[in-house]
């Protein structure tokens, strides 16, 4: 085997076509507010909040203090068996109090992909325990992104994330259903047989699939199907959780009551690696009865104390600074800006839900080239599937910065198109 020349840094980038990115990598060294700075000193507006996670902005002193204080006291202690740590307990209580699910239990872990594995394993384990072992199928939406661990890869609705592993799905019994049309979903459920279906999983607003808000009635329809057929409804709120739609959870915005919510990213605004799931009483109660089996989840860093301290401080900042209301305000600004692009024939469609915006370009244009041109001018945006430019800055973004990044997209289109 020959080694290609110029293989760059020892760090193998995530989700990157390595031959294309080599020589054009941006190394970020510092963050401050809504901006990050490269090692070359370029200042970039973080128009995507990193990977939709930097919701309170970068470089907050108060967060650094919270981490240092917790580390001086107890860096962490695990939460296996009889052991807990006080920060993990406090975070679970806080998340349960914000949750749309009453009397919820919280499982904590290290990120979104972890949360999906834990949620989907739990769905299957739950039906086994209920004496319904035939209920193993996991259904997900076309264009869905649920992270890249084994379960997330298996339920991916972006087919390219499932390709190349020798089987269509790394875990057994998965299938996809339509992203927009609830009648199609009903037909898929009927074809598979509801008695075989353990869970339906969906992002309330699809992110990586191209910023796709739910069609009117769609999420309500999923809830109805789940309720009618004894199917668990799992909402993947890894992007939408902790404020991105102007509510703590999108379930609250859309009036949905799922059985399980997966979370990560915004729970700590990326200051620490935290994720987890929120579990409804009907799902956790069977595991809390005398004689119940163990649900075998857990990793060394489930409920990591310093991570939990940072999540708690992040939630405190969102509350104290009224950032949910700020998101609702910014949603209005973004809507107005994107609606004003309606006459631009280079743009096929624009979509907004909360502080999540997508500008879908005509197929002959390239969202990748547009976002490359934007970064040269100091604006980070991201190309998504479907030729979409993603705009999802921190909640602390000013109106002018938000208008600025939309204007920068149009300027980049002028250069590239």
Hey, what are 318's tokens? Answer: 């969102």
Strand 357-361 with 388-391, pairing: antiparallel
**207 touching ligand PLP, by CB under 6 A:** yes
Only segment of 90-98, 203-211, 377-385, 397-405 that touches ligand PLP (CB under 6 A): 203-211
Q: Given strand 260-263, what is the order of strands in its sheet?
A: 105-109, 275-279, 260-263, 232-236, 197-202, 137-141, 174-177
For ligand PLP, which is the closer residue by CB, 267 or 367? 267
Which tokens hold the place of 259? 């059985």
Q: Among 36, 44, 49, 51, which residue sits at the site for ligand PLP (rule: CB under 6 A)?
A: 51
205, 213 in Cβ contact below 8 A? Answer: yes
The residues in 312-341 that bind ligand PLP, with binding defined as CB under 6 A, are none
Site string for ligand PLP, 10-49 (x = CB under 6 A): ----------------------------------------
Binding residues for ligand PLP, total number by CB under 6 A: 15
Query: For the packed helices 61-73 and 305-320, what is the interaxial angle rounded to 10 degrees?
Result: 150
Q: Kindly tell me which of 219 and 365 has the beta carbon lying closer to ligand PLP.
A: 219
203 binds ligand PLP (CB under 6 A): yes
In 3-state terms, what secondary structure has residue 147?
coil
Kindly report the length of the chain: 417
| 239-258 residues near ligand PLP, rule: CB under 6 A | 239
Does residue 145 belong to the site contacting ligand PLP (CB under 6 A)? yes
The upper half-sphere exposure of residue 56, i.e. CA atoms within 13 Å in the direction of its Cβ, equals 27
Check binding of 161 to ligand PLP (CB under 6 A). no
Shortest Cβ 112–ligand PLP spacing (Å): 2
Q: Are 48 and 380 in contact (CB under 8 A)?
A: yes
240 vs 412, beta carbon nearer ligand PLP? 240
User: By CB under 6 A, what part of segment 81-140 binds ligand PLP?
Assistant: 111-113, 116
Give the residue from 52, 41, 55, 105 showing the smallest Cα distance to 281: 105
Give the largest Cα separation in the chain, rounded.
67
| Binding interface with ligand PLP (CB under 6 A) | 51, 111-113, 116, 145-147, 203, 207-208, 236, 238-239, 264
């Amino acid at each position: 085997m020959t080694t290609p020349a110029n293989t760059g840094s020892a760090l193998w980038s995530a989700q990157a076509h390595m031959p294309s990115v080599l020589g054009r990598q941006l190394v970020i060294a510092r963050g401050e507010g809504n901006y990050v700075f490269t090692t070359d000193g370029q200042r970039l507006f973080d128009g995507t909040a990193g990977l939709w996670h930097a919701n309170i902005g970068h470089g907050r002193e108060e967060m650094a203090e919270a981490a240092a204080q917790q580390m001086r006291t107890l860096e962490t202690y695990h939460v296996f068996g009889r052991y807990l740590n006080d920060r993990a307990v406090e975070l679970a209580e806080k998340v349960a109090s914000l949750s749309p699910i009453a009397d919820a239990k919280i499982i904590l872990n290290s990120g979104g992909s972890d949360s999906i594995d834990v949620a989907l394993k739990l769905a299957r384990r739950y039906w086994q325990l209920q004496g319904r072992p035939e209920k193993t199928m996991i259904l997900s939406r076309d264009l869905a992104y649920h992270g890249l661990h084994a379960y997330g890869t298996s339920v991916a609705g972006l087919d390219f994330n499932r390709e190349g592993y020798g089987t269509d799905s790394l875990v057994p019994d998965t299938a996809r259903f339509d992203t927009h049309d609830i009648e199609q979903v009903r037909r898929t459920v009927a074809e598979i047989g509801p008695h075989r279906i353990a869970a339906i999983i969906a992002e309330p607003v699809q992110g990586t699939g191209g910023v796709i808000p739910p069609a009117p009635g769609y999420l309500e329809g999923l809830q109805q199907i789940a309720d009618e057929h004894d199917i668990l409804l799992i909402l993947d709120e890894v992007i939408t959780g902790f404020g991105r739609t102007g509510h703590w959870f999108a379930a609250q915005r859309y009036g949905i009551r799922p059985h399980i919510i997966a979370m990560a990213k915004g729970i700590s605004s990326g200051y620490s690696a935290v994720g987890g799931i929120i579990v409804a009483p009907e799902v956790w109660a069977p595991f809390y009865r005398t004689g119940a089996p163990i649900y075998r989840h857990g990793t060394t860093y489930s409920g990591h104390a310093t991570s939990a301290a940072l999540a708690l401080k992040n939630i405190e900042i969102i509350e104290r600074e009224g950032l949910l209301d700020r998101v609702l305000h910014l949603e209005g600004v973004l809507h107005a800006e994107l609606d004003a692009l309606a006459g631009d024939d280079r743009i096929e469609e624009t979509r907004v839900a909360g502080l999540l915006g997508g500008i879908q370009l005509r197929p002959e244009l390239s969202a990748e080239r547009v976002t490359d041109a934007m970064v040269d001018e100091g604006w980070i945006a991201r190309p998504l599937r479907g030729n979409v430019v993603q705009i999802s800055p921190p909640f602390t973004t000013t109106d002018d910065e938000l208008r600025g990044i939309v204007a920068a997209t149009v300027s980049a289109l002028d250069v590239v198109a």
